[in-house]
């Protein structure tokens, strides 16, 4: 369920190498320490650390060309807001979307804050530039009937797939919708993480390696046990719960392809992805009177503002709550 130390070490080495290729040795040394800080103290996921390393490497590569040489610590402190804007304009010309550019600026600011905290200078220009606006997009949940149907292995009975594979995919989809998990959280589960009947909840590691407990419906548990019984590979307690065709950990890409097959069978739009099942979990709970803060905890959102986006998906629920709670609304 947890990223291995080897994986974290590989991410650190690759990220440090990318930055060392475009920055002065003193900057590369601090960047290595920064990446270790992100992974160990901030407990960011390896993929997040990898993305941050790419973003900072791209920033420093631009500066190397912009300044006429690999940037040094002193030169970072002398950057003007115009230099940062020039980098952002350069990224836009490369076709980078606003959301990705926001992340890149956040990565560069994170590195700048680390340098300041370590007494290596202040990169004030990064904070002086406003992040680009990102168009707000609302989650696109499935209908209740479609979300339930996705976890029905009978819909794919005609496919030339082993029964255990169909049972596995159905169990994964049932977990995503029934417990609101991210696909990485579901595929990161170990066999020993699944309740043995005495419990009805599991502990998952979300973003930032933060653990949270989520309930699991009896129906979902039965589907997991059906898959485990059919699976041709030994499912050790400390090994991955969901296996691929050759016995290794199941890849998210395989789950996405299975969902694509179901989209065709059910006539669903392209927005019907595995992650849409998580959106469906939150939206359907809210529409049935679920408490927003409880949904926040179940989803593992650090901020309530992230969860509040689902209120825009289901405005009817807000109106009903207002009418039921506001004294003047009740006449």
Chain segment 265-288, per-residue pLDDT in tens: 888 999 999 999 999 998 888 888
Give the three-state DSSP class for 306.
helix
> What average pLDDT does range 112-140 have in this prediction?
87
Q: What's the DSSP call for residue 153?
A: G
Angle in degrees, 0-180, between the axes of helices 252-266 and 274-287, rounded to the nearest 10: 70
Contacts of 174 (CB under 8 A, 6+ apart): 151, 219, 220, 223, 224
- pLDDT of 11 > 70? The answer is yes
For position 317, what pLDDT does the model report? 54
Retrieve residue 186's tokens.
């579901």
- Could you confirm whether domain 5-128 is CATH 1.10.150? yes
Over range 8-25, report the average pLDDT: 88
Q: What is the pLDDT of residue 300?
A: 84
pLDDT in tens, 166-218: 999 999 999 999 999 999 999 999 999 987 766 788 888 887 778 888 989 99
The percentage of the chain sitting over the pLDDT mark of 90, rounded to a whole number, equals 51
Q: Is the predicted pLDDT of residue 250 greater than 50, yes or no?
A: yes
Provide CATH 1.10.443.10 ranges for the chain.
144-323
Find the catalytic residue in 103, 243, 310, 317. Answer: 310
Per the residue annotation, which of 168, 243, 301, 317 is the catalytic one? 301
Euclidean distance between CA atoms 21 and 314, whole angstroms: 49
Q: Look up residue 320 and give its DSSP letter.
A: H
CA dist., res. 154 & res. 158, Å (int): 8
Question: Catalytic: which of 70, 182, 284, 317?
Answer: 182
User: In the annotation, is 310 catalytic?
Assistant: yes
Confirm whether 182 is a catalytic residue: yes
Q: Where in the chain is the domain with CATH 1.10.150?
A: 5-128
Lowest model confidence (mean pLDDT) among 35-39, 249-253, 294-298:
294-298
Whether residue 284 contacts residue 298, with contact meaning beta carbons closer than 8 Å, is answered with no
pTM score: 0.67
- Is 279 catalytic? The answer is no
Q: Which of 57, 99, 66 is nearest to 85 (CA)?
A: 66
Mean pLDDT, range 122-150, rounded to an integer: 86
3, pLDDT greater than 60 = no
> What is the homologous superfamily of the domain 144-323 according to CATH?
Intergrase catalytic core (1.10.443.10)
Distance CA 162, CA 206 (A): 31
Report the pLDDT value the prediction gives residue 323, as an integer from 0 to 100: 57
Q: Is 318's pLDDT higher than 80?
A: no
What gap in Å lies between CA 58 and CA 123, rounded to an integer?
17
- 278 included as an active-site residue: yes
Active site residue 103: no
Q: Is the pLDDT score of 152 beyond 80?
A: yes
Please tell me which residue in 29, 207, 212, 263 is annotated as part of the active site: 207
């Amino acid at each position: 369920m947890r990223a291995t130390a080897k994986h974290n070490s590989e991410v650190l080495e690759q990220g440090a190498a990318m930055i060392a290729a475009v920055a002065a040795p003193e900057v590369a040394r601090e960047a290595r320490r920064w990446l270790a800080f992100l992974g160990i103290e901030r407990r960011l996921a390896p993929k997040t650390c990898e993305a941050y390393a790419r973003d900072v490497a791209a920033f420093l590569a631009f500066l190397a060309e912009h300044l006429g040489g690999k940037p040094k610590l002193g030169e970072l402190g002398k950057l003007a807001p115009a230099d940062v804007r020039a980098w952002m304009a350069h990224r836009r010309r490369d076709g980078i979307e606003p959301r990705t550019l926001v992340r890149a600026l956040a990565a560069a600011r994170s590195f700048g804050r680390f340098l300041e905290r370590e007494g290596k200078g202040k990169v004030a220009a990064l904070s002086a530039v406003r992040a680009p606006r990102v168009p707000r997009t609302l989650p696109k949940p499935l209908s209740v009937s479609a979300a339930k149907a996705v976890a029905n292995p009978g819909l794919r009975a005609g496919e030339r797939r082993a029964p255990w594979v169909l049972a596995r995919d159905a169990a994964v989809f049932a977990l995503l919708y029934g417990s609101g998990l991210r696909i990485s959280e579901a595929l990161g589960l170990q066999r020993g993480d699944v309740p043995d009947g005495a419990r009805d909840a599991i502990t998952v590691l979300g973003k930032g390696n933060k653990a949270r407990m989520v309930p699991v419906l009896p129906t979902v548990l039965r589907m997991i046990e059906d898959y485990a019984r059919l699976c041709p590979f030994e499912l050790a307690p400390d090994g991955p719960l969901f296996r691929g065709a050759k016995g290794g950990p199941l890849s998210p890409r395989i789950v996405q392809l299975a969902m694509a097959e179901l989209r065709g069978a059910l006539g669903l739009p392209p927005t019907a992805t595995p992650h849409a099942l998580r959106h469906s979990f939150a939206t359907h709970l809210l529409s049935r009177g679920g408490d927003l803060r409880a949904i926040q905890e179940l989803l593992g959102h650090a901020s309530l503002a992230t969860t509040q986006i689902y209120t825009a998906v289901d405005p009817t629920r807000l109106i009903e709550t207002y009418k039921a709670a506001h004294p003047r609304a009740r006449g």
